[in-house]
């Protein structure tokens, strides 16, 4: 087994995470991600019979909210933090999949 | 070409009719100023967490019950992870492992044949934000982000465009009647995605997904067109791409949007921010009580009272009119007359004024009074039409309006006889026709009598007296 | 220079009530101390102007609670309205929140004065605070050493007596481990005890905000204010509020205390083990019953943490996309480029590493192989802990395997940061409360901390034992005496 991921493997996970990597980073992560994934692989050797999962460590059930409106933001306040806005809208490059 | 069998499955997203969003308390409203129905939760601000709207659970449960589903008594939510600018958190909160309802069915009828369409599951999720595209940019409006949806997924049980349309129409009717959603396909509160494949054998062909079809009739068109396209390809020996399409109404054709990546990687995992939701018997019983009489049951009842299928359907299409009529099912009045005036003059008035019947002054007592008077002949359609505005706009009783107007229905046989004799004398040709077996001639004579009395004669009585007179 | 901030909060409260001092005296002193100790790099953002303004406003108000007018520092992953909140990341380095976290509202209601936002590991990912975009905070006991992480800035500023109170957050030991390295008291409450609304999520099912203070009593005072059901957080508990100081000072004889064998295994350094053994002897002498136990799967907790925390983080950090707030690359050619460049440039190395691994672990079949299995084992760990608490009042052990190490160490080893937290992670897996109370010093006079783990919602009992140990050991925990 190699102690490095391939460049393709690193670029695949980078794409999953929508993270652009420099060539230098790709090289570094080929080793580091491999180390991490090998370590995580230890879970495969752990024996467990009970298949019940713990999603969140609380015993209480969800308490639901009544259907009543609360306060909302003013569009101007929203736009203060928006990198690119246009009037009352948030602007992004055209979404290709439409 | 006809030996190809179509196999169709449908996914429908329906916006739930709540006051607020599913995971935040901002308003669930359509068509407001862009980004005005938004709070920090809807925008996916760092540190925000979801809350869960009880009304969403109630409406989704109602939908699941109507669709005859098994209910997941202990359910949780899951995150569906993907990147898209209309998805504020980079994941959609949905139900993947424990949908609220599973294994249900809907019964449809096509050309008199009844058929059950199996429902794979119904699950709850949040809507994405709305985007508008112009040149090289897209503009985002988060008012829709977090609007509650249920998605209903069928098994691939349909084999014709008629069945598919009947299913969508049936689902729309069910949800409209149960007050779960507005189900306005044109406005996007109900969205249909159709999966279709064709095959000559039992083995299913490669399917295409047609997204977001804009009307029920287009569901049928899109299926026909897509099937034609697929069959043509197969006949040429070509392969069908596993892809997403849209139906283009102008060109009456399906157009490819994108080829599907092998196994979309949504990286589902259980949503840790929402604990398990318990659906107990109390809640189920409570929700069951809110399920009104559904359309199919209404139709059966109406027709049992003698209302025609056409008129029954017309009333059912208007839920508030149907609810109004339902109040009189046990009142003993003539429901055929009741439905006729509701669909006729009353609907005309409501359309003209934009009012809902419940917001007029037409009380239940008044309506019963009117129908009774019409069936006994004390009130005829001409007079009814004349006094309609007053009936619907004033608190006054039918009796008062009639007497105020000086409208007198002639019920006196002696008085009527004089008029009848006069009409008979002036229309000997028609009388002859009648006596020679042309029974339709009596209608003409009736008309003449009504004209003579300016419509104030009791038509039943006139009919009786006229026949007596003619058969003397 | 005044020394009001060396007094206990009770003493300060008395002076405030008697009008012998004003809140502004405390605020000015805090900023003097912060400026004198700038090399600690404990803060990312200071809010001097607003703090002075608030202090002025408080002059006319009645001193209505013990924390009135006390300066407090906030970890920079807790959002503060109108006050920059960066999560120690380039991607948020200009982010001004438009709402307050629930804990911040509570702090403001009690008229505490927010001094600034403390340094930390970027998005709380790390065990030394060295992944901060703003450079690492330093350990006041030896400025060449790390302060621990991820709440390193909060630990550093409390230890150096810059402010008396701070908030930290703990996903896999991020309050307890830096508290151990810096010789202060830090509590990670039971999961659900404190609202997470406004805490920028790292591992949603693990994260918990908690108090970091100079001593046990003041820690309990601050927790009194932080906890309670929050309608904005479905995972916050409905438990009634309680006074966490109520058991402090009670006799500990008869208390049954468990020590997991894993906590004294050879993963722990000799000096840490020696200190723990000394504490065990002391407790025995005072009538506590100490027994050694095994917790199922405790040795697998780090692996579970890697899977669950990185998986959740990959999803939680997807919202940083340059669309609605935060850093956004200029003039992207398309949506894909907007995402990839914004995130590629905005996140630091450790964060990118964890997001990528987390995404991978959730993709396709991996979700079953890794994630679902991790949740199963997690259930077993919690069950085993809860079973132990059927027989024992508390569990103790160390928080860190060693004392603080040199700045710059272990930066290129992606595993070291997880192994640093091997003793603290199991508590987050189980959702239980865990705390640090100083128990001694190693060679070079660096602090060593004792970890106390309680049953769910049993924080008051933990404070009782912690206060006892604090009093008995009577350690000099002021690093200024050493320097």
| Interface confidence (ipTM) of the complex | 0.97
C-beta atoms of A73 and B54 within 8 A: no
* Alpha-carbon gap, residue B245 to C106, rounded angstroms: 52
Chain B interface mutation, best of A93, A94, A96, A97, highest count of B Cβ atoms under 10 Å: A94
> For chain A, which residues score pLDDT lower than 70?
1, 96-98
Tell me how crowded residue B467 is: count the other CB atoms within 10 A of its CB. 13
pLDDT at C483: 58
Residues in chain A: 98
Report yes or no on A60 lying in a domain. no
Question: Contact, A74 vs A88, CB < 8 A?
Answer: no
What's the pLDDT score for residue B262? 55
Nearest CA among C174, C215, C144, C11 for reference residue C78? C174
The overall average pLDDT reported for chain B is 91
d(CA C52, CA B71): 57
In this structure, what CATH number is given to the domain that contains residue A40? 1.10.20
Measured CA to CA, the distance from residue B424 to residue B436 in angstroms comes to: 15
Over chain C, what is the mean pLDDT?
A: 97
Rounded Cα distance, B175 and B168, in Å: 11
Residues B439 and B379 in one domain: no
A65 phi and psi angles, rounded to 5 deg? -90, 140
Residues B251 and B398 in one domain: no
Provide the pLDDT for residue C465.
98
Helix intervals (H) in B236-308: 281-289, 295-304
pLDDT at B263: 54
Number of domains in chain A: 1
> Distance between CA C75 and CA C165 in Å, rounded?
11
Question: Cα(C11)–Cα(B384) distance, rounded to whole angstroms?
Answer: 89
Kindly state the percentage of chain B with pLDDT values over 70. Answer: 98
Q: What is the CATH number of the domain that holds B445?
A: 1.10.10.410
Say which range, B25-34, C121-130, C318-327, has the weakest mean pLDDT.
Answer: B25-34
Q: What residue numbers bound the domain in which B350 lies?
A: 293-404
Do B332 and B382 reside in the same domain of the chain?
Answer: yes
Query: Do residues C440 and C472 make contact, with C-beta atoms less than 8 angstroms apart?
Result: no
Q: Tell me if the bond preceding C152 is cis, omega within 30° of 0.
A: no
Same domain as B369, residue B426:
no
* C191 close contact with A: CB closer than 8 A: yes
- CATH for C4-252+435-482, options being 2.50.20.10, 3.20.20.70, 3.40.50.1980, 3.90.1300.10: 3.90.1300.10
- The reply to whether B360 falls in a domain is yes
Per-residue pLDDT averaged across C342-353, rounded? Answer: 97
For the stretch C384-398, pLDDT in tens is 999 999 999 999 999
Report the distance separating Cα B208 and Cα C207, nearest Å: 43
Task: Please tell me which of the candidates A53, A90, A95 has its beta carbon nearest to residue B133.
Answer: A95
Q: Return the C-alpha torsion angle B342, B344, B349, B355, nearest 10.
A: 40
The reply to whether B394 and B417 lie within a common domain is: no
Helix C216-226 to helix C459-473 angle (10° resolution) is 160
Residue C481, pLDDT > 80, answer no
Range of the domain at A18: 7-45
- Give SS3 for B247: strand
Does A22 fall in a domain? yes
Residues B95 and B139 grouped into a single domain? yes
Alpha carbon separation from B271 to B49, B185, B323, B379, C352 (Å, rounded): 11, 30, 41, 65, 22
Cα–Cα dist C478/B168, whole Å: 73
Give the distance from residue A75's alpha carbon to the nearest chain C alpha carbon, in angstroms: 12
In-domain check, residue A37: yes
Whether A67 is covered by a domain: the verdict is no
pLDDT for residue B1 = 52
Do residue B43 and residue B100 come from a single domain?
Answer: yes
Q: Which of B250, B281, B312 is the last residue of a domain?
A: B281
Closest by CA position to C452, among listed C279, C335, C331, C306: C279
Listed residue (C358, C339, C434) closest to C201, CA to CA: C358
pLDDT computed for residue C1 by the predictor: 55
| Number of other residues whose CB lies within 10 A of the CB of residue A37 | 18
Which pLDDT does position A98 carry in this prediction?
42
B96 part of a folded domain: yes
Measured from the Cβ of residue B469, the count of other Cβ atoms closer than 10 Å reads 16
Q: Does A55 touch chain B (CB under 8 A)?
A: yes
Q: Mind listing the pLDDT tens digit for each residue in B217-229?
A: 999 999 999 999 9
- The DSSP code sequence of B47-90 is T-----BHHHHHHHHHHHHHTTPEE-SEE--EEEE---TT-TTS
**pLDDT tens digits along B317-363:** 888 899 999 999 999 999 999 999 999 999 999 999 989 898 899 99
Please tell me which of the candidates A16, A61, A66 has its beta carbon nearest to residue B275.
A61
Query: Between the ranges B211-215, B314-318, C428-432, where is the mean pLDDT highest?
Result: C428-432
User: Would A53 be classed as within a structural domain?
Assistant: no
> What pLDDT does residue C411 have?
83
Identify the bridge partners of residue C448 per DSSP, sorted by sequence position.
C440
Smallest Cβ–Cβ distance between C340 and the set A20, A42, A57 belongs to: A20
pLDDT at C259: 98
Within-domain flag for B287: no
- Chain B contact for C96, CB < 8 A? no
Quick check: C353 and A29 CB within 8 A? yes
Contact C205, A56 (CB under 8 A): yes
Would you call B282 an interface residue with chain A, using a CB distance cutoff of 8 Å? no
Q: How confident is the model at residue C231 (pLDDT cuts 50, 70, 90)?
A: very high
Cβ atoms of B328 and B338 within 8 Å: the answer is yes
Flag whether A11 is in a domain: yes
Active-site residues of C, by number, are: 75, 150, 174
The answer to whether residue B258 scores a pLDDT higher than 50 is: yes
DSSP output for C265-315: STTS-HHHHHHHHHHHHHHHHTT-EEEEE--TTGGGHHHHHHHHHHHHHHH
What digits encode the pLDDT tens for the residues C181-204? Answer: 999 999 999 999 999 999 999 999
Question: Pick the residue with more confidence: B1 or C368?
Answer: C368
Q: Can you tell me the distance from the alpha carbon of C131 to that of C418, in angstroms, rounded to the nearest whole number?
A: 14
Band (C13; pLDDT cuts 50, 70, 90)? very high
User: Taking CB atoms and an 8 Å cutoff, what residues of chain C touch B84?
Assistant: 335
- Name the residue ranges covered by the structural domains of chain C: 4-252+435-482
Question: For C226-242, b where at least 16 C-beta lie within 10 A, e where not — what string?
Answer: bbbebebbbbbbeeeee
What residue of A is the nearest CA neighbor of C337?
A20
Number of H helices, E strands in chain A: 3, 2
pLDDT digits (tens, 9 = 90+) for C201-219: 999 999 999 999 999 999 9
Determine, yes or no, domain membership for A34. yes
Contact yes or no for C291/C259 (Cβ under 8 A): yes
Which tokens belong to B323? 């609810």
More confident residue, B468 or C33: C33
Domain identity same for B75 and B166? yes
Q: What is the pLDDT of residues B68-84, one digit of tens each?
A: 999 999 999 999 999 99
Total domain count for chain B?
3
The label of the residue with tokens 């002075």 reads C52
Sign of the dihedral through C-alpha C165, C166, C169, C170: negative
Quick one: CA torsion of C379, C380, C382, C388, rounded to 10 degrees? 160
Residue of B230, B105, B76, B228 lying closest to B171 (CA atoms): B105
Most A CBs within 10 Å: which of C360, C425, C426, as the mutation test of the A interface?
C360
Q: Closest chain C residue to B43 measured between Cα atoms?
A: C324
Show which of B281, B311, B326 is a domain's final residue: B281
Residue B441: the pLDDT is: 83
């Amino acid at each position: 087994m190699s102690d490095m991921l391939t460049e393709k493997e690193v670029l695949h996970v980078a794409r999953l995470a929508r993270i652009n990597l420099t060539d230098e980073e790709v090289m570094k992560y080929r080793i580091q991600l491999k180390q991490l994934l090998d370590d995580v692989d230890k879970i495969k050797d752990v024996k467990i019979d009970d298949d019940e999962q713990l999603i969140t460590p609380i015993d209480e059930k969800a308490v639901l909210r009544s259907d009543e409106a609360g306060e909302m933001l003013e569009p101007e306040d929203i736009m203060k933090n928006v990198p690119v806005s246009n009037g009352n809208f948030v602007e992004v490059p055209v979404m290709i999949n439409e | 070409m006809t030996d190809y069998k179509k196999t169709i499955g449908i996914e429908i997203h329906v916006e739930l009719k709540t006051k607020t969003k599913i995971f935040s308390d901002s308003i669930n409203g359509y068509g407001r100023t862009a980004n005005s129905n938004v709070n920090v939760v809807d925008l996916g601000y760092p540190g925000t967490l979801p809350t869960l709207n009880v009304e969403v659970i109630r409406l989704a449960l109602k939908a699941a019950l109507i669709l005859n589903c098994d209910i997941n008594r202990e359910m949780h939510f899951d995150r569906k992870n993907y990147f898209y600018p209309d998805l504020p958190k980079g994941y959609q909160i949905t139900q993947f492992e424990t949908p609220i309802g599973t294994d249900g069915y809907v019964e449809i009828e096509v050309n008199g044949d009844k058929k059950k369409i199996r429902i794979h599951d119904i699950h709850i999720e949040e809507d994405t934000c709305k985007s508008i595209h112009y040149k090289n940019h897209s503009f985002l409006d988060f008012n829709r982000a977090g609007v509650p949806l249920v998605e209903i997924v069928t098994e691939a049980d349909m084999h014709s465009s008629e069945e598919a349309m009947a299913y969508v129409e049936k689902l729309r009717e069910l949800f409209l009647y149960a007050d779960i959603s507005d189900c306005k396909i044109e406005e996007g509160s109900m969205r249909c995605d159709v999966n279709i494949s064709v095959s000559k054998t039992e083995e299913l062909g490669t399917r295409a997904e047609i997204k977001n079809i804009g009307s029920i009739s287009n569901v049928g068109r899109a299926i026909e067109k897509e099937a034609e396209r697929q069959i043509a390809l197969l006949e040429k020996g070509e392969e069908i791409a596993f892809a997403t399409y849209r139906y283009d109404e102008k060109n009456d054709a399906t157009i490819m949007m994108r080829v599907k990546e092998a196994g979309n990687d949504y990286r589902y995992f259980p949503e840790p921010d929402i604990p398990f939701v318990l659906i107990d018997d109390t809640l189920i019983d409570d929700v069951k009580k809110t399920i009104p009489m559904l359309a199919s049951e209404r139709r059966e009842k109406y027709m049992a009272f003698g209302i025609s299928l056409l008129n029954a359907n017309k009333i059912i299409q208007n839920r508030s009119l149907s609810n109004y009529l339902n109040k009189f099912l046990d009142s003993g009045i003539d429901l055929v007359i009741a439905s006729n005036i509701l669909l006729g003059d009353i609907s005309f008035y409501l359309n003209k004024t934009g009012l809902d019947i419940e917001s007029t002054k037409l009380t239940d007592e008044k309506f019963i009074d009117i129908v009774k008077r019409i069936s006994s002949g004390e009130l005829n359609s001409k007079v009814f039409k004349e006094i309609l505005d007053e009936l619907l706009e004033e608190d006054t009783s039918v009796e008062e309006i009639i007497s105020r107007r000086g409208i007198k229905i002639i019920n006196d046989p002696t008085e009527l006889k004089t008029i009848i004799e006069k009409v008979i004398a002036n229309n000997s040709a028609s009388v002859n026709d009648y006596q020679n077996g042309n029974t339709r001639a009596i209608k003409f004579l009736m008309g003449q009598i009504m004209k003579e009395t300016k419509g104030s004669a009791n038509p039943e009585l006139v009919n009786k007296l006229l026949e007596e007179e003619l058969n003397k | 220079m005044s020394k009001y901030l060396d007094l206990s909060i009770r003493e300060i409260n008395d002076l405030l009530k008697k009008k012998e001092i004003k809140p502004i005296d405390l605020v000015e002193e805090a900023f003097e101390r912060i400026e004198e100790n700038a090399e600690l790099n404990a803060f990312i953002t200071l809010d001097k102007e607003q703090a002075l303004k608030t202090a002025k406003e408080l002059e006319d108000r009645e001193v209505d609670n013990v924390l009135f007018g006390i300066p407090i520092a906030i970890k920079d992953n807790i959002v503060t309205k109108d006050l920059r909140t960066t999560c120690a990341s380039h991607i948020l380095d200009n982010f001004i929140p438009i709402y307050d976290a629930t804990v911040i509202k509570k702090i403001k209601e009690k008229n505490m004065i927010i001094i600034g936002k403390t340094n930390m590991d970027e998005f709380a990912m790390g065990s030394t605070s060295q992944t901060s975009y703003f450079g690492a905070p330093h350990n006041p006991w030896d400025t060449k050493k790390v302060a621990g992480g991820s709440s390193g800035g909060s630990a550093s500023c409390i230890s150096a007596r810059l402010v008396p109170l701070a908030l930290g957050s703990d996903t896999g030991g991020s309050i307890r481990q830096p508290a151990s390295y810096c010789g202060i008291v830090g509590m990670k409450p039971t999961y659900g005890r404190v609202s997470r609304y406004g805490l920028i999520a790292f591992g949603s099912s693990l994260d918990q905000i908690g108090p970091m203070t100079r001593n046990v009593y003041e820690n309990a005072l601050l927790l009194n204010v932080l906890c309670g059901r929050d309608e904005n957080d479905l995972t916050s508990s409905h438990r009634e509020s309680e006074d966490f100081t109520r058991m402090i000072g009670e006799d500990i004889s008869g208390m049954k205390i468990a020590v997991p064998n894993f906590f004294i295994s050879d993963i722990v350094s000799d000096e840490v083990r020696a200190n723990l053994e000394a504490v065990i002897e002391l407790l025995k002498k005072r009538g506590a019953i100490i027994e050694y136990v095994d917790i199922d799967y405790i040795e697998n907790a780090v692996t579970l943490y890697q899977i669950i925390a990185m998986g959740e983080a990959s999803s939680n950090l997807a919202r940083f996309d340059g669309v609605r707030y935060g850093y956004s690359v200029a003039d992207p050619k398309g949506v894909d480029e907007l995402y990839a460049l914004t995130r590629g440039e905005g996140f630091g190395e450790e964060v990118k590493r964890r997001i990528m691994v987390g995404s991978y672990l959730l993709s396709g079949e991996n979700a079953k192989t890794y994630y679902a299995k991790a949740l199963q084992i997690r259930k077993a760990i919690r069950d085993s802990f809860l079973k132990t608490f059927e027989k024992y009042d508390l569990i103790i052990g160390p928080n860190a395997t060693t004392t603080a190490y040199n700045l710059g160490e272990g930066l290129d080893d992606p595993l070291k940061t997880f192994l640093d937290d091997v003793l603290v992670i199991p508590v987050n897996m189980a959702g239980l409360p865990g705390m640090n109370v100083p128990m001694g010093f190693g060679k070079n006079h660096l602090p060593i901390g004792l970890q106390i783990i309680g049953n769910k919602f049993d924080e008051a009992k933990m404070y009782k034992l912690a206060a006892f140990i604090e009093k008995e050991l009577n350690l000099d925990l002021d690093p200024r005496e050493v320097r």
